[in-house]
Chains A and B, each alone.
Chain A
Amino acid sequence: MTASQPDFWRGVRDAVPILIAVAPFGLLFGALAAENGLTPFEATLMSATVYAGASQMVGIELFGADIAPWIIVFSILAVNFRHVLYSATMGQTIGAYSRAQKALAFALMTDPQFAVTEQKAEKGIATPFAWYLGLALPVYALWVGEAWLGAVFGSLIDDPSNYAIDFLLPLYFLGMVMDFRGRANWLPVVGASALASVAAYHFVGSPWHVSLGGLAGVAVAAMIGVKPGHKLVV
């Protein structure tokens, strides 16, 4: 256990940029959930069990709109379907974890958690279970605590766009994209994803641009394939 403590604290340090980027959204979710009729308990339960920001935002929007329960569940599933692709990739990165460790690791796998884990692995930096927990648990605790806080004090944030807080997460994701620019096929993948996402956003509507745009980039990568002798880091 003592041997894994440095790894845990290394994970906590790596979590700091995620905490800064995520913090406004945890509160925002709680506040919006309260506005859409969820109790503080329900808002906190949702953050603790679903634990996926974009889908939670979509979920509470539909709760407020009096829509059939199965459609809300299906919408949450659709927004989160990208996790299937993350899971397939990260399963190899965390291949050395035990079965129970994997089960917990996947429960805590968010966009930034996945991005940072893959980023470390790409640089050849070790990603043991203790490190993974150090990265994940502060973000989880913040996210769940803020849902309760935001729901109770929902009026604290009057209008988040006044302070441009709403733009932090897109900027953070953009930073992640730029960090991946050393990967094979990066430019054609990012180009295809951007074009398909913008087209899907315009013609199909949100949140389908995420799945369709992502699929376009992945399809381009599959068509180009791997150069002979090229070592892919997955």
Chain B
Amino acid sequence: MAVSTTIWVILAGALATYLTRVGGHAVLSRFERIPPRVEAALNAVPAAVLTAIVAPYAVFFGAAEAITIAAAVLLALRLPTLAMLAIGWALVWVLRQAI
């Protein structure tokens, strides 16, 4: 049986993904000392990218989703992630039925 195009695309996608996973480290480890601005930029990466994933949900997906995101931000100030997750999940479920 010939290997299907789908399998080749999956394997090429996997290789490309692995290169992104090792690439940043492979390139950056060539520097002996990281410049301060680069360090500040790298330090900001997780919050920046995760915010970019979440932000559209607060704007484009409807009132239930927008309200839930706003409530979840406040809940996360006081509660552990898992508790916020449970309350947020229940909230968006109820709001979707109600709105």
Contact = CB atoms under 8 A, between A and B. Distances in A.
Interface of A: 17, 20-21, 38, 42, 45-46, 49-52, 54-55, 59, 63, 69, 72-73, 76-77, 80-91, 102-103, 106-107, 109, 111, 114-115, 118, 161, 163-164, 167-168, 170-181, 183-186, 189-190, 192-198, 200-202, 206, 209-222, 224-226, 232-234
Contacts of B11: 49
A111 B23 CA distance: 16
15 contacts: A38-B6, A42-B7, A69-B12, A73-B9, A76-B16, A77-B16, A80-B16, A82-B20, A175-B84, A178-B77, A193-B49, A197-B53, A201-B56, A211-B52, A232-B40
B2 interface: no
Contacts of A186: 47
Which 4 interchain pairs have the tightest Cβ spacing?
A213-B52, A217-B48, A87-B24, A91-B25
B98 interface: no
Residue among B14, B23, B52 having the largest count of chain A Cβ atoms under 10 Å: B52
Residue among A213, A219, A224 having the largest count of chain B Cβ atoms under 10 Å: A213
A53 B17 CA distance: 12
Interface in B68-85: 68-69, 72-73, 76-77, 81-82, 84-85
Interface in B16-51: 16-18, 20-29, 36-51
A174 B69 contact: yes
Interface of B: 4-14, 16-18, 20-29, 36-60, 65, 68-69, 72-73, 76-77, 81-82, 84-85, 88-89, 92-93, 96
Contacts of A179: 76, 81
A217 B45 CA distance: 8
Contact of B20 (A84, A91, A171): A84
Contacts of B7: 42, 45
A198 B24 contact: no
Given A59-B13, A196-B52, A218-B42, 11 more contacts: A55-B13, A69-B8, A77-B20, A87-B26, A111-B53, A115-B46, A180-B46, A201-B60, A210-B49, A217-B44, A232-B43
Contacts of A91: 24-25, 28-29
